[in-house]
Amino acid sequence: RAVKLEVAVKALAGENDQLRADLEQYRARDYVPGQVVDQLVEELQALVESLTNPNAKAKVDEAVKDAMVVIDSAELRQGCDEAFAAADTDNGGTLSILEFGPCAKKLFVETVGWELLDKQLVYLFNQFDADKDGTLDPNEFHDFFRYLVLVVTKVQAEGYQDAESMPAPEGTLPFVEFEKLNAMVDGLGDSDAKARCMARMVELTAMLHSADFVSQSIATFKWADADGSGALDVYEFCPAARQCILRWLSEDVADAQLHEAFIAFDTNGDRKLSATEFVQFLQYCAVRTVRQSCELILEAKEMTGGNAEGSAADTAFQDLVEFVTNLEQPEAKRRCMADLQQVRTLLQSDSFLDAVVSGFVDADANSSGRLTLDEFAPVAAAVVGRHFDEVLGVSTLFKLFAEFDANCDGSIDVVEYETFVKYLVALVTRRRCEAVVETVKWESPETNPALARRRELEATVASVADAPTRAECGGLIDQLDAAMEHANFVVGCAAAFLTADFS
């Protein structure tokens, strides 16, 4: 409000006395440095006393005591001073709201996992601007740092307070979805796939019943409830739900899907989601994710075929599914899931079957309808060399032959040869997925410091007030991008690397 009023006053150049009076009144409010922190400490102590669950109470009490030590520690002061210096881009000794904003947003994402809304950012800035001069000095910024530590602690405490009252009762969407998953797994019979799916369900049950799952979901709900109404409208729901799904389930969800989910979980049709409805939405997402994982396990069985159960191909595909399921980066997981779908389509196609038969016939030099070791070895060596750039030794070729000679008759028929080809497909797909993970890491500012610095440069240039200077700096960034995309840059990097690689 103070920032908006100040802008309005400047724009009107004193023509509106009421706006000027409002601004002065806002700035004249009594403010005692440290008061916000002291109030938060009192709220935390009251919260500890209100908890009835002994385990939760002990955890929160310990967290509050640790926080009290941290907020007065020299280490916090040092970290605060470093963050202040990094945020003070003009070296003016104070932070404007434009300097404070990116810093505060980054700190909240790193500590609490939330994106600050603009109105929350302005509110925080004004809370800690003790002298109402429109900037934060180092002491005011330190006050904000202490407050941030206590906010993290309060989030955990409030989550524990609400955790026990958030079940998924019979008839709700997460309950119905869990029943479907249970029925699907029960229908698998005694198999390795069922054992794997059961293990997933055990993990799911443990997660849904953990205090952390519900407490962090409730904490996010309360933070997203910007107007303090006790319910989320669709604009508050979407970013909060996305944050929780990314944190817990490593899934990225489109806005359209979130809007549909909002309508589905708004059981009373008031266009608002209560805390209970919000947690049930996340429980439903968790069940759907495990169901997706189980479906992948079954697809892996289909891809290898019933005759190959327990073979190296079966194991390779199950390991591949496990790898993709456990990916934490949503974009990498999305790309690898798409790869798996393509592989499944390929293995079920007539063209794949034709390729297998053609390869088998070419390898069967004596047209006996079976491959001896002498016929199988060169084919296996050539395929592995082409896809993996590896040279197979004689002993490895012997092991491969024995592995896929399922009936141990000293030869490989066309069905066994198909299993061998599927095994190679699984290995190639796994390698491609690993490459995708590395690519996504390189493309993400969170894991690539060069990209993170590039974004900081963009933000710095965008904040430059002088238009010609801003344009000149933008031109420099464009030159930087062009230089890094030039072939000579890549060749130069490779040459420097090879020169340094003495070993």
Residue 371: strand, helix, or coil: strand
Q: Is residue 386 classed exposed, middle or buried when 0-12, 13-18 and 19+ CB atoms within 10 A define those classes?
A: exposed
- Cα 174 from Cα 286, distance rounded (Å): 9
Residues in Cβ contact with 346 at an 8 Å cutoff, skipping those fewer than 6 apart: 352, 425
Give the model's pLDDT for residue 40. Answer: 79
The b/e string for 154-191 (b: 16+ C-beta within 10 A; e otherwise) is: bbbbbbbbbbeebbbeeebbbbebbeebeeebeebeee
Beta bridge partners of 136: 95
Amino acid at position 473, single letter? C
Over its length of 503 residues, how does the chain's per-residue pLDDT go in tens digits? Answer: 555 555 555 555 444 455 445 445 544 444 455 577 778 788 888 877 777 666 667 777 887 888 888 888 888 888 888 889 988 988 889 988 888 888 888 877 776 556 666 767 777 788 888 878 888 888 888 888 888 888 777 766 665 554 444 445 555 667 777 777 777 777 776 566 777 777 777 777 777 767 677 777 777 787 788 777 778 888 888 888 887 777 666 666 777 888 888 888 887 788 888 887 888 887 887 887 788 777 777 776 666 665 556 677 778 888 888 888 778 777 788 788 888 888 888 887 888 888 888 888 888 888 888 888 888 888 888 877 776 666 667 777 788 888 888 888 888 888 888 888 888 888 888 888 888 888 887 777 767 788 888 888 888 888 888 889 989 998 998 888 888 888 888 888 888 888 888 88
- Cα 137 from Cα 117, distance rounded (Å): 23
Give the model's pLDDT for residue 24. Answer: 52
Give the model's pLDDT for residue 27. Answer: 47
Residues in Cβ contact with 134 at an 8 Å cutoff, skipping those fewer than 6 apart: 2, 3, 6, 96, 97
What distance lies between CA 193 and its chain's CA centroid?
A: 27
Instruction: Please name which of 187, 238, 247, 261 lies closest in space to residue 217, comparing C-alpha atoms.
Output: 247
How many alpha carbons lie under 13 Å from residue 31 in its C-beta half-sphere?
A: 18
Helices 414-443/373-388 angle, 10° precision: 10
Q: Give the dihedral sign, CA 218/224/229/235.
A: negative
